């Protein structure tokens, strides 16, 4: 099996998804030889080993991090510290920090493996995307591995499925689906296949109270989160999409409410605009259809779109339940019967599962499959 390698894992982000990920790590990492966590950091402080021979406890990390007086580390400081060891390093970035994302090419070039759900790294500047890809293995034979399954669809195998299709020579013609757990929950309740559904503002309130939306629901209703995911997938199939502003993205925020000073003010004023969404629903129902908020990529037309679309009631997208995501891959091999991936596409636990699964792949890649028997 060759010489055993020491693998050091550095974790950025310890709240929300990060906390769920660390809880999963406490059960996963004991299975692997010579693998240890050496850094846990959040925006205001950090906890790291005094020497590379030490190990951070995954049983007491939360208490230890809270007690730490060490400041947060900049990407450059993290990079410089990594260069003081010959250990294999896996950087797990559970943040949405653009500055850290901008440093990925430098980490990868220095053979640091990057695991992340950070959408901004792959959907912002096209030049950054190209630099990240070109500095990672196998594009750079000496670069670090790159995993970002959870950047689209949380724990659902969207990225890996698309990679498999492309790497095995299939021709992806179209990708379409519901990419937001929030939008799925809203429209499945607002315009159900059976029954009338509630008022739009009431459904937004229910989604907010259930924790499906951001504290300010406008961050979901503007469509940008879905657009970021579409940018990632479009770039993977070879479309040179500059940014989320390069294609139509329908916002469900009434123009009159775009300038609201807070999420609370927005929610107070939203009922006055219920008739607009009710009209959209009723017109679709008159045609025997339901409305859903979807994203689509037409590869041949080089067209990317995000917005409300009508579907027959028997369509797979129309029949979604709860907050499920569904993504259909139309390819040359699969013909008119698309390959469909469906399931929970939001939530800390399932997103952390996607990150954890990527970490396991990374460990096996850099560590040579040395699992404790």
Considering only CA atoms, give the Rg of the chain: 22
Give yes or no for a cis peptide into 138 (omega within 30° of 0). yes
Catalytic member of 120, 229, 281, 289: 229
CA angle 45, 47, 48 (to 5 degrees): 135
- Going by C-alpha positions, the residue among 349, 203, 337 that lies closest to residue 270 is 203
229 part of the active site: yes
Strands 113-115 and 289-298: unpaired
Which tokens sit at 351? 């997103």
CA-to-CA dists, residue 166 to 30, 146, 223, 242, 312, angstroms: 34, 17, 27, 21, 30
Which tokens sit at 2? 């060759």
- Going by C-alpha positions, the residue among 177, 179, 197 that lies closest to residue 187 is 197
* Residue 369, phi then psi, degrees to nearest 5: 65, 30
Residues 201 and 270: beta-carbon distance below 8 Å = yes
Residues 6+ apart with CB under 8 A from 53: none
Residues 90 and 12: beta-carbon distance below 8 Å = no
Beta-carbon count within 10 A of 283 CB: 12
Catalytic residues: 229
């Amino acid at each position: 099996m060759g010489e055993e390698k020491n693998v050091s894992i550095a974790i950025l982000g310890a709240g929300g998804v990060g906390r769920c990920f660390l809880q999963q790590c406490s059960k996963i990492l004991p299975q692997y030889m010579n693998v240890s966590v050496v850094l846990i950091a959040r925006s205001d402080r950090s906890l790291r080993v005094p020497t590379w021979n030490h190990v951070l406890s995954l049983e007491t990390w939360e208490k230890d991090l809270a007690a730490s007086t060490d400041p947060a580390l900049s990407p450059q400081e993290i990079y410089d510290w990594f260069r003081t060891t010959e250990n294999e390093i896996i950087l797990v970035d559970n943040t949405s920090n653009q500055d850290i994302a901008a440093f990925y090419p430098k980490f990868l070039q220095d053979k640091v493996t990057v695991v992340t759900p950070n959408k901004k790294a792959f959907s912002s500047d096209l030049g950054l995307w190209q630099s990240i890809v070109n500095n990672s293995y196998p594009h750079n034979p000496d670069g670090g591995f790159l995993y970002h399954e959870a950047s689209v669809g949380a724990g659902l195998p969207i990225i890996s499925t698309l990679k498999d299709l492309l790497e095995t020579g299939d021709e992806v013609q179209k990708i379409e689906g519901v990419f937001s757990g929030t939008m799925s929950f809203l429209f499945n309740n607002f315009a159900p296949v059976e029954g009338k559904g509630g008022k739009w503002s009431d459904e937004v309130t229910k989604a907010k109270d259930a924790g499906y939306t951001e504290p300010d629901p406008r961050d979901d209703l503007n469509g940008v989160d879905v657009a970021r995911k579409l940018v990632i997938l479009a770039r993977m199939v070879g479309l040179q999409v500059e940014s989320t502003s390069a294609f139509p993205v329908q916002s469900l925020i009434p123009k009159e409410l775009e300038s609201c000073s807070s999420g609370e003010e927005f929610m107070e004023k939203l009922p006055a605009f219920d008739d607009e969404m009710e009209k959209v629903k009723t017109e679709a129902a008159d045609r025997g259809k339901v409305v859903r908020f979807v994203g689509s990529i037409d590869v041949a037309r080089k067209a990317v779109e995000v917005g409300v679309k009508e579907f027959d009631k028997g369509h797979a997208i129309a029949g979604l339940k709860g907050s499920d995501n569904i993504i259909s891959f139309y390819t040359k091999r699969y013909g008119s019967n698309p390959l469909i991936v469906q399931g929970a596409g939001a939530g800390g636990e399932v997103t952390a599962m996607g990150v954890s699964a990527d970490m396991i792949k990374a460990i096996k890649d850099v560590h040579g499959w040395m699992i404790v028997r």
